[in-house]
């Protein structure tokens, strides 16, 4: 029997333990060691906001298998034959001697752990703004179990009344919900013009409106200037415009940066994004060292560019690839990402996959088509909930570049469909006849996603001229001469309306009241209803009667992100 291969994994959060477990499944004889700085192993870090928010109370659930067994060093040794050294810091990598210099944080004892193959899974560190007052107590991130414990303790004590969240990204929004559930007054501060920058502005604005509806204050286009305090404790957050927000707690959630110091000090190649350079086998510039998770840069499969993609699911997929390759040779591959993500926003969800319209244009896609669809996720008699989807498609190929979806409906299902379509290189032509599961408890007869494909196909074939809510608002604000036609019923109009100078003519009455439409057949007309399905029918009717400049406000009133009269 030959000498057992020695596999060392630095990092014990998500990607590292996955690499170690996969290596064990591939080779029962290998000597596998995990070096983990923190006291915990294999933490479900994406669950932190929900632990803080009280969705569950048992802390160990963040550390347990599906069967409820805590993933601690004893578990790794007994179940997997893996040595897990917790509270042990990897201080240096000796590539020539093939050892990792480690220090036990409890005893101070040092040792050199030898390896044949090494996997670096050092993760990321939170970005902290360089402003005065960061040393005050009451300021935290939500990156570690210790952070989650701290915020959960605050939540349970219920003594803090006001909190400010710096950053309107995924973690910021999820933390906002968690703290609001604890009875705190919440303010979310975002430097950019919108929350959730993976969405286009008009989609993000719908999310912002929903956050506001939950009694949370949202401030955009304003940054952090300083943390203010007394006697070492946080008392307020000062913004760049001089506004001071009194608070006892501030959560910094402005993103993360790859933790690459160990790799950099060892002379491994670092990419332009700041992540460790790896190939599709997750191998670094040293053929005996792999790197996985938040600390690496990967390829965007649509643009071909290198990106940082700190997602928990990708970390696990990369760990699986590196673990197999470390023991069996470079036969497994992780080709890259289309950056699919989803976020819970109170009783809303927001997800995206592929490129937003903004990202597509920045990547050099100039000939693109977009469409917005607002419609239910299932029939009204099955407690339908609304979805708003935006598609981004390359013309003239029809290749799907991106999809975004927000709303209280089944957003995850929609994003999953579009993610697979994009990954598979599918076109609009493929999706207009997609064969998806249908029954009233789960879907409309024409699924929301298929309807979205129908809309963009109609636009690409010239059967529908669309206009976004944002463009309509800009025309109204410029006082352009546009005939705004609301084709809903009178009862709907009384319950909810935009109040932007529109004319109400119900669709069923339109043929009899064509004389009320501008006589100039070149006049610009914008049709809409609640979701603009009737708006589309009205536009086709008017075009059939000779009007030439008829457009449909995509998504209708449901997708209108601005103030409404009612």
- Find the CATH number of the domain harbouring 541: 3.40.250.10
Domain match, 434 and 357 both: yes
Domain match, 158 and 267 both: no
- Residue 405 falls within a domain, yes or no? yes
Domain match, 470 and 456 both: no
Which residues, other chains included, contact 352 with Cβ-Cβ below 8 Å and sequence gap of 6+?
198, 199, 339, 340, 341, 342, 402, 403, 404, 405, 415
pLDDT, tens digit, 9 for 90 and up, residues 88-128: 999 999 999 999 999 999 999 999 999 999 999 999 999 99
Q: By C-alpha distance, which of 468, 434, 447, 442 is closest to 551? A: 468
- Residue 132 falls within a domain, yes or no? no
Model pTM above 0.85: yes
Domain match, 502 and 437 both: no
- 88 beta partners: 104
- 404 beta partners: 352, 390
> Strand 110-114 relative to strand 99-104: parallel, antiparallel, unpaired?
antiparallel
- Residue 565 falls within a domain, yes or no? no
Domain match, 505 and 535 both: yes
Q: Transcribe 218-285 into DSSP letters.
A: EEES--EEEEEEETTEEEEEEETTS-EEE-SEEEE-S-EEE--HHHHHTT--B-TTSSEE--TT-B-S
- What sign has the CA pseudo-torsion 130, 221, 407, 452? negative
Residues 404, 338: Cα–Cα separation, whole Å = 13
Question: What pLDDT score was predicted for residue 430?
Answer: 97
Q: From the CB of residue 157, how many other CB atoms can be counted at a distance below 10 Å?
A: 9
Domain match, 13 and 111 both: yes
Please name the residue ranges forming H helices in 112-226: 145-157, 170-181, 201-213
Chosen domain end from 265, 295, 328: 328
Domain that holds residue 532: 466-559
Domain match, 419 and 523 both: no
Domain match, 10 and 120 both: yes
Question: What pLDDT score was predicted for residue 1?
Answer: 45
Domain match, 50 and 194 both: no
Q: List the CATH number of the domain containing 365.
A: 3.30.390.30
Domain match, 426 and 456 both: yes
Chosen domain end from 300, 328, 356: 328
Q: Are 208 and 220 in contact (CB under 8 A)?
A: yes
- Total domains in the chain come to 4
Question: What pLDDT score was predicted for residue 65?
Answer: 92
- Residue 134 falls within a domain, yes or no? no
Average pLDDT for runs of 10 along the chain of length 566: 85 96 97 96 94 94 93 94 97 98 96 98 95 96 95 94 96 95 95 97 97 95 96 96 97 96 98 98 98 98 97 97 97 97 96 98 96 96 96 96 98 98 97 96 96 97 96 96 97 96 97 96 97 97 97 97 94
Angle at 377 between CA 174 and CA 391, to 5 degrees: 75
Domain match, 118 and 21 both: yes
Domain match, 56 and 119 both: yes
- Residue 76 falls within a domain, yes or no? yes
- Residue 419 falls within a domain, yes or no? yes
Q: List the CATH number of the domain containing 212.
A: 3.50.50.60
Residues 109, 116: Cα–Cα separation, whole Å = 23
- Residue 18 falls within a domain, yes or no? yes
Chosen domain end from 460, 491, 520: 460
Residues 388, 405: Cα–Cα separation, whole Å = 5
- Residue 337 falls within a domain, yes or no? no
């Amino acid at each position: 029997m030959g000498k057992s291969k020695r596999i060392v994994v630095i990092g014990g959060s998500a990607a590292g333990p996955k690499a170690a477990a996969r290596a064990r499944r591939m080779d029962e004889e290998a000597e596998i060691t995990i070096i983990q700085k923190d006291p915990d192993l294999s933490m479900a870090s994406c669950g932190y906001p929900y632990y803080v928010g009280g969705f569950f109370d048992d802390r160990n659930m963040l550390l347990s298998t599906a069967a409820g067994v805590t993933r601690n060093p004893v578990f790794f040794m007994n179940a997997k034959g893996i040595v897990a050294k917790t509270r042990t810091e990897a201080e240096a990598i000796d590539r020539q001697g093939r050892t990792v210099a480690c220090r036990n944080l409890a005893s101070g004892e040092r040792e050199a752990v030898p390896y044949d193959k090494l996997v670096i899974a050092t993760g990321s560190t939170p970005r902290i703004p360089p402003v005065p007052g960061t040393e005050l107590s009451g300021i935290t991130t939500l990156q570690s179990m210790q952070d989650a414990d701290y915020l959960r303790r605050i939540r349970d004590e219920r003594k803090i009344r006001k909190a400010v969240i710096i950053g309107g990204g995924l973690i910021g929004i999820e933390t906002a919900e968690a703290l609001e559930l604890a009875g705190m007054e919440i303010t979310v501060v975002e430097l950019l013009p919108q929350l959730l920058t993976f969405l286009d502005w008009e989609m993000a604005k719908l999310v912002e409106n929903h956050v506001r509806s939950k009694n949370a204050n949202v401030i955009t286009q304003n940054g952090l200037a300083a943390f203010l305090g007394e006697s070492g404790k946080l008392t307020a957050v000062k913004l760049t415009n001089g506004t001071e927000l009194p608070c006892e707690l501030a959560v910094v959630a402005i993103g993360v940066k790859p933790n690459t110091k160990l790799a950099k000090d060892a002379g491994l190649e670092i990419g332009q994004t700041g992540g460790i350079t790896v190939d599709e086998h997750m191998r670094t510039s040293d053929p005996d060292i792999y790197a996985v998770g938040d600390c690496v840069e990967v390829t965007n499969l649509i643009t071909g560019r290198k990106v940082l993609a700190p997602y928990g699911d990708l970390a696990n997929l990369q760990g699986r690839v590196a673990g197999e390759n470390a023991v069996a040779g470079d036969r497994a591959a992780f080709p890259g990402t289309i950056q699919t993500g989803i976020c819970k926003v109170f009783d809303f969800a927001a997800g995206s996959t592929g490129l937003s319209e903004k990202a597509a244009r920045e990547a050099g896609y100039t000939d693109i088509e977009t469409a917005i669809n607002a419609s239910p996720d299932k029939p009204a008699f099955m407690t339908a909930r609304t979805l708003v989807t935006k598609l981004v498609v390359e013309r003239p190929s029809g290749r799907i570049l991106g999809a975004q979806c927000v709303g209280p409906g089944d957003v995850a299902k929609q994003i999953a469909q579009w993610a697979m379509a994009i990954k598979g290189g599918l076109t609009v032509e493929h999706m207009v006849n997609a064969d998806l599961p249908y029954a009233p408890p789960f879907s409309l007869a024409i699924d929301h996603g298929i309807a979205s494909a129908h809309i963009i196909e109609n636009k690409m074939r010239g059967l529908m001229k669309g206009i976004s809510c944002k463009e309509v608002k800009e025309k109204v604000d410029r006082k352009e001469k546009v005939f705004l036609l609301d084709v809903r019923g009178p009862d709907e109009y009384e319950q909810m309306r935009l109040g932007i100078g529109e004319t109400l003519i119900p669709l069923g009455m339109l043929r009899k009241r064509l004389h009320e439409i501008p006589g100039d057949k070149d006049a610009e007309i914008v049709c809409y209803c609640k979701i603009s399905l009737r708006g589309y029918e009205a536009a086709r009717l008017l075009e059939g009667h000779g009007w030439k400049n008829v457009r449909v406000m995509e998504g209708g009133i449901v997708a209108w992100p601005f103030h409404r009269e009612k």
